[in-house]
Every structure is written in C-alpha cells, then in structure tokens.
Amino acid sequence: MAVELRSSVKYGTVLSFTVLLLAYWFRSPQSVLDERLGAVLSSLLRAERKVGMNNIARPRVAIGFGGCVDIIVDGVTLLNKIGLQPTDKPLHHDYIENVEQLAQSFAYFFAPGAASERLVVNDTLFSQLVEASRELPGNRWSVGGNAPVMAGRMASEGCDVLLGGSFSPDFNDYLSEHITVAGNTVEEPDIHLILEYPSGAIWGPYSSRRANRYIVHSDDHNPYLDSIEEFDKKLQSFKPDLLVVGGLQMMDNFPFKQGEREALLNRLAQLLSSASPQTNVHFEMASFVDESLMSNLLDLVLLHADSLGMNEQELPNLLSLFRGSTVTVLSDPNPRVATVLDQMRELYRIVNLRHRQTGRGRALTRLHVHTLAFQAMIVTHGSQWKNTMSATAKASLTANRHVCGSANIDPSKARLILDESFSVSRREGSQRIPLQESRPVSCWTEDEYEICVAPVLVCTEVYQTAGGGDNISAAGLVLQI
C-alpha cells in the first residue's frame, strides 16, 4: 500500500513535470512571442490615443501634386500572363524601353523586395501592360498618387485638405468631403500600374525577401505640375497649418524640353518660399534615380522644407547625393536601427549646416523614416512639432493597418521583426535600448533634438504595400501639427 502510494506520488511528480515541460515546449517560442506582440499592440494603441485631435478647429493641410488611377495586380501573375520569361540578368534601368528591360528591372528589385517606381517610355508596351492588367482576375482599381493618398489619410484623421492635382470629372466622387481640389479637369487620367508581390513570391529563379511593389507609369499630366497655379491661388485664402509636397518622382527621367523642368521647380520654389512662417512645410521623398533632377530638388525644394519623410531606400540615396556621390539605387531593404539612426543624424546635420551656411530656406526640424521593422523620427526641441512619441506610435500602427488593409489590427496577422533591443548607433560602445512591451516607443534626447523609435507589427497577410509610405507619413504628421 505504502509502496503503491509512493510510486503513484512518483508517477504524479513525473507526470506533472512532463506536463510542465510539454507546456513550456508548446509555449515557446511562438506563444511567448504572441504574448509579447499583444502587449506591444495594446501599448502602441494606448500611445496613439494619448493625444487626440482638436475637434473644434480641424487642422488645415494643403497637399500637392498630382494623382492618378492605380491598377493593382499581382506582379508575377501579370508577367506570366504577358508571357515574360524571367531574365537571368537582374539589372537597373533608369527607365523602361522594352520587355527585356522590364524583366531585368523587375528582377533587380523583386528579389531583395525593394520598393521601386519606373517610367515606361514605350507607349505601346505600357498600353499592353494596362490592357493585360484590366483582364487579370483579382485586379483592383483605386485612387492613387502620393498627394491624393496623403490627402485621404489626413481627411479621415480629421483635417480639412486642399489637394493640388488635375483629375478627371468622376475622380471627385471618390474623394472625402473634407478634400477640396485645386487644379484643372482632364479627360484621361494618368494610370499607374502597381505590381504587388508577397514575401517569398517566386518568379523563375528569384524569390522575394519581403512583400513590396514595383510600379510602372507613363504619365501625361503629373510631370508638369499643371495644378500649381490653381493650387497657389487657393493657398492664399486657405491658410494651411501644413503644406505637403510629394509626387515629384513623376518628373524622374521624363523627357522634358530643355529648361522646362527647372522652370517648373523654380515655380515650386517660389510657391514654397512665399509660404507663411505659420505654415509648416513637409516634403515626401520618393524613388528617384535622375541625378540632375535630384540636384534640382535639393536646391529648390528640400531647402524650403521643415520636415522630410522617406523610406529606408530613399534615405541612403539622398545622403549619398549630399555627400557628392552618385545615386544609390538599391540599399538594404531591412536595415538595422543603428544604421538608419546614424544616416538620419548625418542627413539632419548636413541639411541644417547647409541652411546655416547659406541662410536660405528653412531649418530642418523634423525627419521621419519608415522601414519595414520600425519607425524612426528626429524632432528638434522647441520646434513647432508636437507629440513625437504618439506620432511615432501612430505611424507604426498605420503601417500594419495599411498593409493588412484593415483598421483593426489582428495580432495573428502580425509579426515583430525588431530584435529585443537595439543599439542607438553603430559607433562602438553605443547604448543599447531594450524593447519594452509596456512602453514600446523609445524616445531620448541627443544634442538639440529628440529621437523616437517604434517597432512595427509587420503584417503577414499582405493586402497592399503601395501607398503605405504616404499613409504612414500622413498619419505621423497629423498628430504633430
């Protein structure tokens, strides 16, 4: 009896120990991660809600330029449909003249999963691609272009928006009632073809490292900023709190007549420099490869901005131009926090040094960089920008909402890819900051500015990547004006 009892106690102990072990086994690592994810999510939501919009006076935001109709398709399905064989030579082209170049250019960005946007100079080819996309099952149409997407996000976040762009008559039906359009009416809107691909998509020998999109366009209206006069006229009485400029990449490699582009950008510079000091100016970067255009942008546009927004590709590209070297077409699509922060500090330093030395334009007081794994912001102390911590949290949440295509974030469709701690710089001996679940947005002070970093709950069931940067940047700005 006693023996039996002892052995059953023993059995009991062994059994419960085994159950414990099994439980631990099944708990880790997935459910531990899930718990962490849930905690990060609720903390980010709390941070986002911490500051509300002032409902009495809706912030006023003016956004230019242009817009288009997007056709969104699965990239690989489209290339298969037109019978384009995967190339064995991934290659960058400044613009696309024929199908071989399309295949090479697509392969170049598809494998690393870097966002890219190229002009197709061959009208026949572009029409063929659009026709094929129209017939593709599962295609979607939507209002596109940086300015309309940012306008849409701002309007739905509670702003009154003036949008500079020339649209077709039916375009207005798709815009929020809080958006007023300034521009001409055009019969045929410009069309952008968005080739989306999920992470791990396969095209011949290539597999995409992350979800992203490759965009082709062949615009007739957008490169000319043809809404600028109307926009400028309405701007006087609109008196915006914030003026946003984006969509200028439509000028990249566009076959302008001699001097035409410079004239347009000079006109834009004049508009920006006459903006009231009470109006903050934000410039949203994009995928540029045309060096002479970029150098015009640095001298005529960027100089007038208080705030810049860009992704992990655009940051090193801009930086290398400032350092006097050539464009960097492709950079690490999933960079470390330390690398990005060092690049941000450097850009901030160079832009502000230039401002102090020349006395022209505005000081840069805000820089927002969006990457797959995290959002990072630098904001100068004592500047006009408010609520940096909450804005970084909101930008991070918007990344998931946009890519998953849902305002409600489902933790089962999200993944944290940021490490448990990050180094604030690549310099030796730099401080490491742990990612705290209860306070996931880390903010600290350096020199005359504050830096905030927030992890992104990376969406694992991708609905759409295109327009992500615009939604994210707009969401970040909304809480800061």
The binding site for ligand NAG (CB under 6 A) comprises 97-99, 122, 124-125, 128, 149, 152-153, 401-402, 467, 471
**Neighbour-count burial for 81-120, b at 16+ CB within 10 Å, e otherwise:** beebebbeebeebbbbeebebbbbbbbbbbbbbbbbbbbb
Q: In terms of Cα–Cα distance, which of 351, 433, 369 is closest to 442? A: 433
Q: Which two tokens stand for residue 356?
A: 């102090």
Q: Which two tokens stand for residue 254?
A: 């566009």
Taking the complex as a whole, the smallest distance from the CB of residue 400 to ligand NAG amounts, in Å, to 9
Taking the complex as a whole, the smallest distance from the CB of residue 219 to ligand NAG amounts, in Å, to 17
Taking the complex as a whole, the smallest distance from the CB of residue 405 to ligand NAG amounts, in Å, to 6
Report the residue number, 149 or 272, with the smaller CB distance to ligand NAG. Answer: 149
Report the residue number, 122 or 180, with the smaller CB distance to ligand NAG. Answer: 122
Taking the complex as a whole, the smallest distance from the CB of residue 62 to ligand NAG amounts, in Å, to 16
Report the residue number, 88 or 97, with the smaller CB distance to ligand NAG. Answer: 97
Report the residue number, 125 or 242, with the smaller CB distance to ligand NAG. Answer: 125
Provide the CA 368 distance to its chain's centre, in angstroms. 10
Q: For 151-285, where are the E strands, in sequence order?
A: 160-164, 179-182, 191-197, 202-203, 206-207, 212-217, 242-245, 280-284
Report the residue number, 300 or 478, with the smaller CB distance to ligand NAG. Answer: 478
CA distance 239 to 478: 17
CA distance 41 to 352: 35
Q: What is the rounded (10 degree) CA torsion for 118, 250, 272, 314? A: -10
Taking the complex as a whole, the smallest distance from the CB of residue 377 to ligand NAG amounts, in Å, to 20
Report the residue number, 144 or 240, with the smaller CB distance to ligand NAG. Answer: 144
Taking the complex as a whole, the smallest distance from the CB of residue 67 to ligand NAG amounts, in Å, to 10
First-to-last CA distance in the chain? 79
Report the residue number, 149 or 441, with the smaller CB distance to ligand NAG. Answer: 149
Residue, CB closest to ligand NAG: 152
DSSP class of residue 84? P
Taking the complex as a whole, the smallest distance from the CB of residue 176 to ligand NAG amounts, in Å, to 8
Cα angle 428, 363, 350 (rounded to 5 degrees) comes to 40
